[in-house]
């Protein structure tokens, strides 16, 4: 799935925290900043783990203020070995 996280989500270590949470949950994929000011999370793995990552995205790190998390299912494509921060 792809989640687009909006609000005050850049400049607050969102990607680093998302990386740590995804690895803790065993989720594969990536997180990156978008030019729009949003953060994109692409994640695959156990449904419960991906759901837990999305639930976390609504909170984010302590300095974030999340206003929305838009979720889009993805067709199989890129295969991920782990979870990474992309620039």
Euclidean distance between CA atoms 38 and 66, whole angstroms: 10
* 28 is a catalytic site residue: no
Vertex 71: Cα angle to 67 and 74 (nearest 5) = 155
* 47 is a catalytic site residue: no
Active-site pick, 23, 32, 33, 47: 33
Q: How many helices (H) and strands (E) does the chain have?
A: 2, 5
Q: Which of 20, 77, 86, 9 is nearest to 53 (CA)?
A: 20
Active-site pick, 2, 8, 15, 86: 15
Catalytic residue numbers?
A: 15, 33
């Amino acid at each position: 799935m792809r989640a687009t996280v909006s609000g005050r989500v850049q400049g607050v270590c969102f990607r680093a925290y998302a990386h740590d949470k995804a690895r803790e949950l065993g989720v594969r994929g990536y997180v990156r900043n978008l030019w729009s000011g949003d953060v994109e999370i692409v994640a695959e793995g156990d449904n419960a783990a991906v759901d837990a990552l999305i639930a976390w995205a609504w909170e984010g790190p302590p300095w974030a203020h999340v206003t929305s998390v838009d979720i889009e299912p993805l067709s199989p494509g890129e295969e991920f070995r782990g979870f990474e921060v992309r620039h």
